[in-house]
Amino acid sequence: MKLTDEELGMRDGAEGDAVAAAMDLLIRYGAALGAERLVDTRNVAGTMTQPSPAKAKLVEEGGWARAYAVINLDCDKDIEIPRMKVPTCQLQHGFGKDAAGLTAYPDSSIALQSDAESYFSERGVNILATCTPYQVGNLPVRGEHCAWMESSAVVYCNSVLGARTNCEGAASTGAAGLTGKIPYWGNHLPENRFATDLIRADVEIDTFQEWGMLGYFVGEQVQEARPAVTGLLRQPDLSDLKHFGAATATSGGVELYHMPGITPEAPTLEAAFGGSTVPKARTYGARERRWVYETLNGQGQSTDVDFVLLGCPHASLDQVARIAELLDGRRLHSGTELWVMTPGALRTMADRNGYTRIITAAGGHVLTDSCPAMSKAAPPGTRVFATDSAKQAHYLPAILGIEAWFGTLDECIDAAVTGRWRGDLRP
Amino acid sequence: MIELRGRGIVPGVVEAEALVTRDPISGFGGIDVATGTVIEPRHELFGVCFTGKVLVFPGAKGSSGWSGFFQSTRLMGTAPAAMVFQVITTKAVLGAIVTRVPTVVEATPDPLEMMRTGDLVRVDGDSGIVTILAQAARRRVSLNEKSGGASTPK
């Protein structure tokens, strides 16, 4: 890999041991990818505060510096961790104090994370604590080189915002924060951003649920490729594309898609393909839609729902408002829990607008920072859960060994209030 | 001995039994790091432990937690002995680096065609060569089966 004098200096210790370790990792990583060089970034979204058994042990051995060295820099040396060189934020992590006592999630993990927040805040890390940093203070601009992880955020960053990031990990973002560098590879290169596959929706994509199901189909079809999506698409909003992208990155590994006329790098279908021949479309029709619905609902048998999870990826303020509207004046079923996951900053807005009060009065909880999949924790005794998120319906059964139902927000609220799943695919 | 030539991306040499899958592997929701086991219900290796094996797979899929999950297998002592994969992604490449096990990518002929679970293999991450030292028993395809005949082979 070609390195600048500045980068060689970092590698050789000109900016201290931690930066040298970070540059060493970036060089190993970039070379393994086959990257020609590194690129400057001033926008890093990674993870360092999330507790894990392995991390707890490292913290015990040598504090947070040791944990960051090993996990975020792949370095076994005893080093001091300086302030981040470029703007860096913490993505979603484990549950915080607001979830204490609601699950078997250990108090020791909540305390460990709180300790980590203090340590990393002092080093310039913004604790956004969400899988949707673009909702609460980190909104990249078109063309900006970023180093982000969290697959649903990466696909949103590339596709909806037109910024450029690969799907990074804890170690590469850890190194990027200290150096302001990341391998110039993959999605950073303009020629790698054109569509490769074409999917056409022949059924109306006009609700949050429909966007999620289409996304799940697209990811399953194209896997790691770059789809252009056309057809009967009604104008989506932030929540729709947040759900759509998360689903494409769940059934597949989509990091970048185009929707001609909707997303910024595809003013037209031809532009999406960069002038190359537009391939024949694979169609998403009634049969494919039914397949997605049945796949996502293939993990549910009992209709007795004891847990409803909303806000995956973390709910927008609009979504929280809608949930409050549906729950206003109602009470949850005695055997059913309802959690709404949203970023801490939006929780503050929800408090201010009275949404939290309405949801709480109904017996639900508005929670931040995490989700059941990230924290591997649901209300005690949960056997069957329902959600409006294709991503959470896909992952949670494997992670917690529980049954899943996937449906609309209205169906989920109905399940929360009645304790019964009565969802069905609308014609 | 059969040699497959690729690119070594993590140095080191190891000999171990191969565990081969045609399904891409997911980290988050795909493996349990405490036991080194695949936990994705629809995966071909569901319930199978990869600890100490040469993990031969097409590539990574799913969440960006991939590298962190495989790094945790190293820290928990449940890591595979080596990795051999074909599709270069940031997730799989970074994952191999932080798992610190010899890794060869983009080998030819295709490891997924040439290798079977149970083969004894050597992965040389320095030279980028994967060697099949001893093959596990193959199911032999008889002429009768090929031509659709009904008689039972010996």
Over pLDDT 90: what percentage of chain A? 97
The helix (H) or strand (E) run that includes residue A358 is helix A355-361
Q: Which of B121, B123, B118 is nearest to B139 (CA)?
A: B118
Q: Which of A74, A154, A158, A255 to mutate to probe the B interface, most B CBs <10 Å?
A: A74
Query: Range with the lowest mean pLDDT among A56-60, A229-233, B29-33, B120-124?
Result: B29-33
Q: How far apart are CA B72 and CA A376, in angstroms?
A: 16
First to last CA, chain B: 27
Nearest CA in chain B to A48: B68
pLDDT at B139: 62
The per-residue pLDDT for range A90-106, each reduced to its tens digit, is 999 999 999 999 999 99
Cis before B109 (ω within 30): yes
Q: Which two tokens stand for residue A106?
A: 């250990």
DSSP state of B113: H
Q: Which of B81, B36, B88, B16 is nearest to B59 (CA)?
A: B88
CB-nearest to B64 from A33, A154, A394 is: A154
Same fold, A5-190 and A299-418: yes
Q: Verify whether the Cβ–Cβ distance A398 to B29 is below 8 Å.
A: yes
Q: Does position B54 have pLDDT exceeding 80, yes or no?
A: yes
Residue B149 has pLDDT above 50, yes or no: no
| E-only strand ranges, A56-146 | 88-90, 125-126
pLDDT at A392 over 60: yes
Number of other residues whose CB lies within 10 A of the CB of residue B17: 15
pLDDT at residue B154, rounded to an integer: 34
Cα separation, A166 vs A38, whole angstroms? 13
Q: What is the pLDDT of residues B79-119, one digit of tens each?
A: 999 999 999 999 999 999 999 999 999 999 999 999 999 99
Q: DSSP letter at B135?
A: P
Q: How many CB atoms lie within 10 A of CB A230?
A: 20
Domain boundaries, chain A: 5-190, 194-295, 299-418
Q: How far is A168 from chain B (nearest CA, A)?
A: 6
Residues of A in contact with B94 (CB under 8 A): 29, 168-169, 171-172
Nearest residue to A414 (alpha-carbon basis) of A330, A317, A335: A330
Calpha distance A243→A315 (Å, rounded): 10
Residue with tokens 């959690």: A339
* Tens digit of each residue's pLDDT (9 = 90 or more) over A135-181: 999 999 999 999 999 999 999 999 999 999 999 999 999 999 999 99
At B140 the pLDDT is 56
Q: Which chain A residues contact residue B95 at CB under 8 A? A: 169
Q: Which two tokens stand for residue A257?
A: 């898609």
Q: What rounded mean pLDDT belongs to chain B?
A: 90
Q: Would you kindly state where each structural domain of chain B is located, as residue ranges? A: 2-146
Beta carbons of A398 and B41 less than 8 angstroms apart: yes
Name the 3-class secondary structure at A251: helix
Give the span between the Cα atoms of A25 and A160, in whole angstroms: 30
Q: Which of A240, A257, A237 is nearest to A249 (CA)?
A: A257
pLDDT at A23 over 70: yes
Decide if pLDDT at B147 tops 50.
no
Residue with the two structure tokens 């939006």? A346
Please give the pLDDT value at position A336. 98
Among A residues 383-422, those touching chain B with beta carbons less than 8 Å apart: 394-395, 397-399
Q: Which two tokens stand for residue A207?
A: 């609700």
A299-418: CATH number: 3.30.499.10
Topology classification of domain A5-190: Aconitase; domain 3 (3.30.499)
ipTM comes to: 0.91
Level-2 CATH architecture, domain B2-146:
3-Layer(bba) Sandwich (3.50)
pLDDT of residue A405: 98
Residue B126 tokens, joined: 């320095």
Contact A187, A165 (CB under 8 A): yes
Instruction: Give pLDDT, residue B41.
Output: 81
Query: B150 or A78: which carries more pLDDT confidence?
Result: A78
Share of chain A above pLDDT 70, in %: 100
- Answer whether the bond into residue A313 is a cis peptide, omega within 30°: yes
Amino acid at A289: R
- Give the CA distances from residue B116 to residues A306, A407, B136, in Å, rounded to whole numbers and listed in that order: 44, 41, 7
DSSP state of A190: G
Rounded distance between C-alpha atoms, residue B132 and residue B124, angstroms: 11
pLDDT at A207 over 80: yes
